[in-house]
Amino acid sequence: MGDLEQLTKDIQELPEDAQKIIADIIEVFKKQYVTEKTASLNPLELDNQPFIGMWTDRQDTQNSSEWVRIIRQQHCQ
């Protein structure tokens, strides 16, 4: 009998509340490891996102420091 088959048999022989605990533990591991694996397989490619560069044509934001200073002044009055 393979290790996985033996593990399944062992779990099935446990009381129902113990099986529930094992199921909960498995869910925790799945969330942790599947998320890490998925994140590493699908890195965020910002250069392909539609919001990147959406303000490049705006003349009022060419100097970002100046633009922020003006906005702050307007809101503090």
Query: Residues with Cβ < 8 Å from 64, sequence gap 6 or more?
Result: none
Could you read off the pLDDT of 28-57 as tens digits, one per residue? 988 887 765 565 556 677 777 778 888 888
* Model confidence pTM above 0.75: no
Q: How far apart are CA 34 and CA 59, in angstroms?
A: 45
Domain parsing of the chain, residue ranges = 3-41
The residue with tokens 């044509």 is: 57
How far lies 67's CA from each of 52, 73, 74, 75, 76, in Å? 19, 10, 11, 13, 14
